[in-house]
Amino acid sequence: MPNVQITFPDGTSREFAQGVTALEVAKSLGPRLAADALVAKVDSRLLDLTSPIEASGPIQFITPSSPEGLEVYRHSTAHLLAAAVTELFPDAHPGIGPPTETGFYYDFYREKSFTEEDLAKIEAKMRELQKADLPYERIHYPKEEGKKLFEQMGEFLKCQLIEEKAEPVFSAYRTGKFLDFCRGPHIPSTGRIKAFKVLSVAGAHWKGDEKSHPMQRIYGTAFFSQKDLDDFLHKLEEAKKRDHRRLGKELELFSIQDDAGPGLIFWHPKGGMVRKVIEDWLRDELLKRGYDMVYTPHAMRLHLWETSGHTNFYRENMFGAMEVENDRYQLKPMNCPGHILIYKSRRRSYRELPVRMAELGTVYRYERSGVLHGLMRVRGFTQDDAHIFCMPEQLEDEVQACVEFAFAVLSTFGFDRYEVELSARDPEHPEHYAGTVEEWERAEGALRNTLERMKIPFKTMLGEAVFYGPKIDVKLVDAIGRPWQLTTVQFDFNLPSRFELEYVGADGRPHTPVMVHRALLGSIERFFGVLIEHYTGAFPVWLSPVQAIVLPISERHGAYAREVVGQFRAAGIRTELDDRNEKLNARIRDAQLQKIPFMLVVGDREVQAQAVGVRRRDTGDMGSRSLAEFIPWLRQLIDTRAVKW
């Protein structure tokens, strides 16, 4: 049998007998590596350590410190969960169980609902199977033979997957009594799983289709150490306290009404006020930075989306077209075709470029009900959208201005940490993108050059580009360390050609402009949800829907309290009066629960001194302050948009 030449990451290579396993190679390098290795990457493919190596090539061992390590580890823990569930509940039929960014889940079809007590039993069984150190045994089956085996087991969901996705000979993994159709790879055995937790159960649908089998999705997480797991669980508890859905209801900010339909947001007066403040600031900044405000219809003829390419690349996220007078109209999922039509409405000269159009435009996208999530994932939302039409030589300056604008947004709203990604095409799947390879290389180069010139660290994300061009994504990091995707700056060389956009150049001849799509907040809804969770609903004074509340101690102080409210409102401070026939402490507690920044108590001393007794929501009593002193101080906090005070 011929030998194979294995090349290691340091550039050295050694010969091994053909068919040597990755584990045997690891052992030859030392017992520590063999003990740490989870799987191997052989010639860019992830393989089980027990897999034979049949050809020469590079090898890399994936350990807990490797980027891919946690994903494989969590995938194997999902199989451990499924093994526990099917052993405890034989009536549960497994569907799919992938790893996620924060853990894993596994879907099951079962007529009876899983309870909290069931989840505790499942976790206990997982620990029992983990201690048994069961191997993840890879088995190969011819397609028809394997499908027949799963049919005999009664696993009809797995049979569907085998029919749709299996190769002529496919792999399955046995973990104890549990057999799963899976491509793998997996870690060597259950004993390698050190720290995990079953978290919750939720409803889902088979393949995400609401008309298909209802599934129960059991969520869990796994880490390489108990400390990492404990840190995650602590953050999870903190996230529950900050859940914008609960706070949105308690603070009367927004709601989602069943009568209207899922994924559609109703802004209540207090939430509407916060939205107005955000939008007012944004519009003022747009005008300062040379943008023109435009407005476009909510529905337009479908052929615009056919021209743009959305019907080819984005159809599954678009609502169905409407028939109107023998024509077809589309609820807009994007604002770009509308802005393009405004640009095309007259002849353009190079002298007026760049043209920057901005719109707080409401768009509608079809999201499956199973993925809707409060303000974060909706079906109707308002984008702070803008499109910049410019000459190619202006592009990098415009992109830089957009990135600088994004950083101004983050700092203004109190975010001091962020991550930047350059989303590029996947060169192995050109069918997912419009345009030529040369156009893509030029576009990606322009964005990369801009970030490098600005000395901004960034990560390149292959396959994350949109169909019409690459993009820069800025993810803010919130108070508990969670990244949120909001800002995107996208280069588009595609739509200007599709819509035959032109400008007259200095040579008097027509030229095709390039476009920059950019959204800074992403959507008003999602940004508001992130703000709620970042601040736990306790907004900075300038953003608070109610900035101060006046609390008269008794009825005889009512006239002065109303006078105080009038003076604060005259100074542009959002102020309310609470003169209910309730004890003062009860009214203070209610104001505290509503997270109002300042509670202004007025009694005999305050009436006499023309003052207010100031209580802050965070630190409590500030003592008595005269109106002449306190109103300008508070006004300055608001005008400077102070995040801390």
In the chain, the domains with their CATH numbers are 3-62 (3.10.20.30), 69-240 (3.30.980.10), 255-535 (3.30.930.10), 548-639 (3.40.50.800)
pLDDT for res 320: 87
Burial of 67 (0-12, 13-18, 19+ CB in 10 A): exposed
Q: Once rounded to an integer, what is the mean pLDDT over residues 36-65?
A: 92
Q: What is the pTM of this model?
A: 0.83
User: Which DSSP category does 508 fall into?
Assistant: S
CA distances from 488 to 74, 76, 282, 439, 575 (A): 30, 34, 16, 20, 36
Q: Is the pLDDT of residue 99 over 70?
A: yes
Residue for token pair 């709601």: 255
Q: Is the pLDDT of residue 525 over 70?
A: yes
Catalytic (active site) residue 143: no
pLDDT for res 210: 76
CB atoms within 10 A of CB 175: 22
d(CA 629, CA 77): 61
CB atoms within 10 A of CB 225: 11
d(CA 149, CA 248): 50
pLDDT for res 311: 85
Which residues are paired to 39 by β-bridges? 62
pLDDT for res 1: 58
Q: Once rounded to an integer, what is the mean pLDDT over residues 597-624?
A: 95
Of 571, 569, 561, give the one whose Cα is nearest residue 612. 561
CB atoms within 10 A of CB 305: 22
Which residues are paired to 533 by β-bridges? none
For 443, the token pair is 């576009």
Catalytic (active site) residue 385: yes
CA distances from 241 to 227, 278, 364, 377, 546 (A): 21, 24, 30, 19, 21
% the chain with pLDDT above 70: 100
**Least confident stretch, 248-262, 423-437, 524-538:** 423-437
CB atoms within 10 A of CB 208: 12
Alpha-carbon torsion angle 139, 143, 149, 152, nearest 10: 160
CB atoms within 10 A of CB 84: 26
Q: Residues 640, 641, 645, CA angle at the centre, nearest 5°?
A: 90
Q: How far is CA 284 from the centre of its chain?
A: 27
Of 187, 184, 154, give the one whose Cα is nearest residue 170. 184
For 506, the token pair is 């200095």
Q: Which of 74, 348, 379, 517 is catalytic?
A: 517
Q: Which of 385, 478, 492, 578 is catalytic?
A: 385
pLDDT for res 359: 97
Helical H segments across 514-626, by residue range: 524-535, 558-570, 584-593, 604-609
Q: Is the pLDDT of residue 469 over 90?
A: no
User: Which DSSP category does 212 fall into?
Assistant: S
Catalytic (active site) residue 567: no
Catalytic (active site) residue 387: yes
For 62, the token pair is 């994936």
Find the radius of gyration of the CA atoms of the chain: 30
Helical H segments across 251-350, by residue range: 269-288, 303-308, 310-313, 336-344
pLDDT for res 43: 84
Q: Is the pLDDT of residue 370 over 70?
A: yes
CB of 99 within 8 A of CB of 223?
no
Catalytic (active site) residue 336: yes
Complete DSSP assignment for 479-505? TTS-EEEEEEEEEESSHHHHTT--EE-
CB of 519 within 8 A of CB of 487?
yes
Residues 6 or more apart in contact with residue 310 via CB below 8 angstroms: 318, 333, 334
Q: Which of 365, 379, 587, 625 is catalytic?
A: 365
Helix 269-288 and helix 524-535, axial crossing angle in degrees, nearest 10:
110
For residue 204, give the amino acid letter. A
pLDDT for res 313: 76
pLDDT for res 438: 81
Q: Once rounded to an integer, what is the mean pLDDT over residues 243-248?
A: 96
CA distances from 424 to 304, 429, 461 (A): 26, 12, 6
d(CA 313, CA 307): 12
d(CA 46, CA 60): 9
d(CA 370, CA 381): 18
Q: Tell me the per-residue pLDDT of 184-221, one tens digit each, with 9 for 90 and over.
A: 999 999 999 999 999 999 998 898 777 888 999 999 99
CA distances from 544 to 305, 398, 618, 631 (A): 40, 33, 14, 16
Which residues are paired to 366 by β-bridges? none
Q: Is the pLDDT of residue 468 over 70?
A: yes
Catalytic (active site) residue 517: yes
Q: Tell me the per-residue pLDDT of 253-281, one tens digit each, with 9 for 90 and over.
A: 999 999 999 999 999 999 999 999 999 99
For residue 74, give the amino acid letter. R
d(CA 580, CA 568): 20
CB of 319 within 8 A of CB of 331?
yes
For 502, the token pair is 């032109």
User: Which DSSP category does 190 fall into?
Assistant: G
Helix (H/G/I), strand (E/B), else coil: 316: helix
φ, ψ for residue 475 (rounded to 5)? -105, 120
The mean pLDDT of the chain is 93
φ, ψ for residue 126 (rounded to 5)? -60, -40
Q: How far is CA 365 from the centre of its chain?
A: 16
Residue for token pair 């989303």: 423
d(CA 529, CA 275): 11
CB of 158 within 8 A of CB of 149?
no
